[in-house]
Amino acid sequence: MLPLNADNKMNKLTSYTEAISLIKSEQSIMVGGFGNPGTPMTLIEGLLKSGVRNLTIIKNEANEPGIGISRLVEKGIVRKLIISHLGLNSRVIEMMNNKQVEIEFHPQGILAEKIRSGGAGLLGIITDIGVDTIIADTRKVVDFYGQKAILEKSIRADVALIHAAAADTLGNLCYTKTAFNFNPLMAQAADLVIAETFEVLEPGGIDPDHVHTPCVFVDHVVHVENNPRLYGVLAHHVL
């Protein structure tokens, strides 16, 4: 691990403890990941132990029972989930049905675009997805050049927790395999962006053509261990 350097504003390598201490109760928090890949498991562990509560979490899904953000929901520290689906998490579905957590569903790609739009400094997007369904009942529906359309508002958050395959000390990130998913979008869409990574490189360690998230979006890089307990293959998903 590279030395932390508080004097150098260009060095974003931050200790795990310090990074977690920046997250407060009542905040809205975007969490990368689609299933296990790209879910910032170590940062979530930190959040679990930090004592924060009343969180709004924005994520693709709620992971599976006992894993990732499901643990935050199960602990009762999540007030609201803004999410695409809960298909693999019967425990959170039950909590939703019991009104122990508020859920706001969006079509998956629209959730992605709302977040991307927030990160891109746009106010929102215009789409025809869902115009003929019950989701239109709770959306702003307009006529757009003769076509029924939904105006979807951008989403931004106080904090984004990102899992990157590698980072340099300036905060440039790259992702691998199916662990991209929501990470590059969320990394642009929050006021405080904390990225965990297994590998920290010196500036120049990532080919400038292969940077997936330019460093300007990232506030803190946290070097974490590739702990098999958190990041290993889930046996029940192997054929």
Q: What angle do CA 29, 90, 224 make, to 5 degrees?
A: 40
In sequence order, the 6+-apart residues with CB closer than 8 A to the CB of 224 are 16, 42, 43, 196, 197, 198
Question: Is 126 among the residues that bind a second copy (CB under 8 A)?
Answer: yes
Q: What is the C-alpha separation between 239 and 236, in angstroms, rounded? A: 8
Given phi > 0 = left and psi -120 to 50 = alpha, else beta, which region is 38? left
- Residue (26 or 202) nearer to other proteins, CB: 202
Q: Nearer to a second copy by C-beta: 91 or 198? A: 198
17, 176, 226, 227: which one contacts a second copy (CB under 8 A)? 176
Least distance between a second copy and beta carbon 26 (Å): 22
Which of 124, 158, 205, 231 is in the footprint of a second copy by CB under 8 A?
A: 124
Residues 27-86, interacting with a second copy (CB under 8 A): none
**Closest separation between CB of residue 25 and other proteins, Å?**
25
Q: Residue 153, Cα to own-chain centre: how many angstroms?
A: 18
Closest CA to 152 of 96, 109, 102, 103: 109
CB of 225 to other proteins, least distance (A): 14
| 3-state DSSP assignment of residue 161 | strand
Site for a second copy in 191-220 (CB under 8 A): 208-210
Q: Which residues bind a second copy (CB under 8 A)?
A: 113, 117, 120, 122-128, 144-145, 147, 149, 151, 153, 165, 174-177, 208-210
